[in-house]
């Protein structure tokens, strides 16, 4: 791996902190003109019109007062219904909390469950907001490796090998950000068995659970026998319904966990903005074609991007779900943080280095599917000459 002396101090200084590194690159991109941004994971597609209209109607009709901290009762009931039908979880409205996006759900779940000194097993690589939440709770992360040959699926044996007497919980993100791998049903069954035997809590982030590519299927570990009482399932409207800015997500968990989360939420953010909760209710109870239409768009974009990666000489594990491609950039011989910097500065394309998702991933980059096909093609054309220039 080369050490490029031209990398600015702002990027170098934060290279070891995944979240800070992402923000440093986004700040640089914000100061440049005509950048194609394939960094952040927020859908570029519009929130479907019937959802926007439901929010408008709620405002017009004055349905804007505070809701209980756990959420609008009608929405909690609709979420429980959806999680029973779609995810197979044996939950009622009392097991549901509406959160300020998936982000608050993950933070509250970690706050409620992790005490100083507790170990939490986390997949490597992972969405590093978890690292920040775990550190703030005084928890210790223990990595569970995943690899490209296995399409970044999680193995029960690897989970079991990482368990120590201090292990309290296992984090699963399926489909994964950043790897686009899914944890398949057979693996989840074996992992559930390990968790029951070792008395581990499972926090499962299913925020991309409705964005799964054929022939793969999403499966919820909380639906397995003996798991509902030890599983916290996290989801949000952000990805499936292109509603990131509405800040509306949800968690399903045993009632005592919901109570513990509510105590923190009450003194921090309070209930989710009421208008966003009415929008969320329309999302779940209205027509669902928008979800499959958007999935079709992502499927087409994914094919274009994979074709581009083949031309760029980047290998990848099959992206089975979510909004990203996680590609092996080792053929360039350049550290991923430096490569991302060079592609931004000289190619005006923002992608994220693998090290933003775990320190070991210096030969990987994450690229999003969140621009139209023509823009994705243009991004590939911009990156190719930069790669040709720097390739050894």
Ligand X SMILES: Cc1ncc(COP(=O)(O)O)c(C=O)c1O
Nearest residue (CB) to ligand X, 102 versus 353: 102
Stretch of residues binding ligand X (CB under 6 A), selected from 67-75, 101-109, 144-152, 265-273: 101-109
For the bound state, the minimum distance from the C-beta of residue 101 to ligand X, rounded and expressed in Å, comes to 3
364 near ligand X, rule: CB under 6 A = no
For residue 103, the minimal CB distance to ligand X (Å) is: 3
Binding of residue 294 to ligand X (CB under 6 A) = no
Residue 249 in contact with ligand X, rule: CB under 6 A: yes
Q: What is the spatial distance between Cα 77 and Cα 98, in angstroms, rounded to a whole number?
A: 11
Rounded-to-integer distance, Cα 8 and Cα 340, Å: 12
Task: Kindly state the number of chain residues that form the binding site for ligand X, as judged by CB under 6 A.
Answer: 14
Residue 250 within binding range of ligand X, rule CB under 6 A: no
Q: Is 205 in the site for ligand X (CB under 6 A)?
A: yes
- Give me the least distance between CB of 180 and ligand X, in Å please: 11
x-or-dash string of contact with ligand X, 5-44, rule CB under 6 A: ------------------------------------x---
Identify the bridge partners of residue 350 per DSSP, sorted by sequence position. 37
**3-class SS string, 114-156:** CCCCCEEEEEECCCCHHHHHHHHCCCEEEEEECCHHHCCCCCH
Q: How far is the CB of 7 from ligand X (least distance, A)?
A: 26
Question: Is 244 a binder of ligand X (CB under 6 A)?
Answer: yes
Helix (H, G, I), strand (E, B) or coil at 179: coil
**∠249-89-211 over CA atoms, to 5°?**
55
Stretch that binds ligand X, among 99-107, 114-122, 138-146, 158-166 (CB under 6 A): 99-107
Question: 29: how many CB neighbours lie within 10 A of its CB?
Answer: 18
Nearer to ligand X, 42 or 346 (CB): 42
Alpha carbons 383 and 364: distance in angstroms, whole number:
15
Give the residue at shortest CB distance from ligand X.
101
Instruction: Identify which of 158, 164, 179, 161 has the alpha carbon closest to the alpha carbon of residue 361.
Output: 179
DSSP-assigned states of every residue in 196-254:
HHTT-EEEEE-TTTT-B-TT-----GGGSTTTGGGEEEEEESTTTTT-GGG--EEEE--
Q: Per CB under 6 A, does 102 bind ligand X?
A: yes
State how far the Cα of 291 lies from the Cα of 278, in Å rounded to an integer. 18
Residue 146: both structure tokens together: 């995943």
Q: For residues 350 and 68, what is the distance between their CA atoms, to the nearest angstrom?
A: 40
Instruction: Based on the shown chain and the rule CB under 6 A, indicate whether residue 332 belongs to the binding site for ligand X.
Output: no
Minimal distance, residue 371 CB to ligand X, in Å: 16
- Of 228 and 243, the one with the shorter C-beta distance to ligand X is 243
- We find the least distance from the C-beta atom of residue 28 to ligand X, in angstroms, to be 20
If one asks whether residue 128 binds ligand X (CB under 6 A), the answer comes out as no
Q: How far is the CB of 107 from ligand X (least distance, A)?
A: 9
Query: 98 forms bridges with which residues in the sheet?
Result: 250
Among 127, 219, 241, 298, binds ligand X (CB under 6 A): 127
State which of positions 219-238 bind ligand X (CB under 6 A).
236, 238
Footprint of ligand X on this chain (CB under 6 A)? 41, 101-103, 106, 127, 173, 177, 205, 207, 236, 238, 244, 249
């Amino acid at each position: 791996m080369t050490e490029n002396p031209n990398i600015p101090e702002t990027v170098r200084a934060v290279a070891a902190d995944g979240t800070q590194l992402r923000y440093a690159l986004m700040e640089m991109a914000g100061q440049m003109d005509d950048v194609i941004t394939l960094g952040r994971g927020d859908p570029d597609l519009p929130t479907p019109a019937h959802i926007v209209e439901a929010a408008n109607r709620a405002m017009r009709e004055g349905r804007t007062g505070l809701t209980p901290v756990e959420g609008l009762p009608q929405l909690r009931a609709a979420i429980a219904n959806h999680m029973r039908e779609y995810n197979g979880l044996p939950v009622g409205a009392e097991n549901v909390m509406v959160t300020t996006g998936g982000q608050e759900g993950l933070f509250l779940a970690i706050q409620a469950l992790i005490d100083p000194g507790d170990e939490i097993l986390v997949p490597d690589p992972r969405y590093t907001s978890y690292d920040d939440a775990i550190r703030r709770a005084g928890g210790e992360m223990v990595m569970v490796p995943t690899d490209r040959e296995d399409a970044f699926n999680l193995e029960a044996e690897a989970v079991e090998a990482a368990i120590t007497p201090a292990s309290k919980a296992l984090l699963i993100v399926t489909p994964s950000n950043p790897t686009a791998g899914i944890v398949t049903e057979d693996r989840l069954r074996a992992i559930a068995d390990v968790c029951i035997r070792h008395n581990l809590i499972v926090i499962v982030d299913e925020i991309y659970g409705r964005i799964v590519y054929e022939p793969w299927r999403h499966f919820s570990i909380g639906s397995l026998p003996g798991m509902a009482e030890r599983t916290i399932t996290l989801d949000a409207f952000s990805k499936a319904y292109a509603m990131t800015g509405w800040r509306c997500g949800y968690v399903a968990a045993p009632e005592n966990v919901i109570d513990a989360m509510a105590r923190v939420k009450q003194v921090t953010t309070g209930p989710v903005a009421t208008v966003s909760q009415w929008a969320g209710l329309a999302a779940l109870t209205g027509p669902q074609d928008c979800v499959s239409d958007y999935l079709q768009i992502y499927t087409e974009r994914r094919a274009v991007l994979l074709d581009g990666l083949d031309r760029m000489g980047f290998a990848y594990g099959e992206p089975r779900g979510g909004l990203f491609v996680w590609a092996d950039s080792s053929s360039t011989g350049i550290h991923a943080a430096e490569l991302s910097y060079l592609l931004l500065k000289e190619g005006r394309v923002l992608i994220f280095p693998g090290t933003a998702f775990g320190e070991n991933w210096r030969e990987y980059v994450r690229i999003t599917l969140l621009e139209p096909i023509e823009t994705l093609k243009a991004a590939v054309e911009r990156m190719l000459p930069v790669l040709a220039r720097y390739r050894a």
